[in-house]
Amino acid sequence: MITLSMDCLLFELNNGESVPLSAEMITVELTGNKSEYFDSHFVQHAAQAVFHYFKHDLGRLSVSVGEFAGALESVLRGFGVKAVSAESDSAKRDVLESDLQRLASESGKGCELFFFPRLRDEMRQQLQQSPRLLRFRGLRGCVKQLAGARRWSRRCQTLHNRIVEYLRECLSAEANQRDCALVVD
């Protein structure tokens, strides 16, 4: 059994998989009306504080992504950011999901060349429905599938970062994305 690094927590994903992450590895993106009031460093520090709370104050070794997001939302709300909770009934109607693993399968094994245009088309189709939250799930499996990797590697991490950055760029380039938040997990 491999021991968990002292500076990591296991994040439990919706598909049952657990991913070890350190506070520095957590990426949070705010969009919407209040996002311009906080710079990325502020949000990153808030995420690190929530990480510290779970790891050191509560002594937890693992936390679900939903628990972490809820705690971070509470912290940011204390500073005046009104976040859209994916659990509320009104938000559920405004949340659209896309499966990144499905998109990778449709693009062919190891075919990044076809994957990225397919990803942009998927985002455009979803944005036509004017969602408040656009969620792309299955990133880890998608990356491993595209990289042809069985285990997470440096190449996987690079591809992971490229996909997240590409989604951010695509969202900011779209005209009808004004009040849409993006979640990639």
pLDDT of residue 91: 43
SS3 content of the chain, % helix, strand, coil (to 5): 55, 15, 30
pLDDT of residue 87: 46
Q: Which residue is associated with the tokens 């997240």?
A: 164
Mean pLDDT, to the nearest integer, of 113-140?
A: 88
Q: Is pLDDT at 163 greater than 90 in this prediction?
A: yes
Q: Is pLDDT at 93 greater than 50 in this prediction?
A: no
Of the pLDDT bands very low, low, confident and very high (cuts 50, 70, 90), residue 110 is low
Q: Which pair of structure tokens corresponds to residue 185?
A: 């997990």
Q: Is pLDDT at 128 greater than 80 in this prediction?
A: yes
Of the pLDDT bands very low, low, confident and very high (cuts 50, 70, 90), residue 100 is very high
> What's the CA gap between 20 and 11, in Å, rounded?
6
In the chain, where are the structural domains located? 8-78, 89-184
pLDDT of residue 16: 77
Q: Which pair of structure tokens corresponds to residue 160?
A: 């992971």
Q: Is pLDDT at 70 greater than 70 in this prediction?
A: yes
For residue 92, the Cα-to-chain-centroid distance in whole angstroms is 17
pLDDT of residue 161: 93
Q: CA neighbours within 13 Å on the CB side: how many for 44?
A: 9
What does the mean pLDDT of the chain come to?
Answer: 79
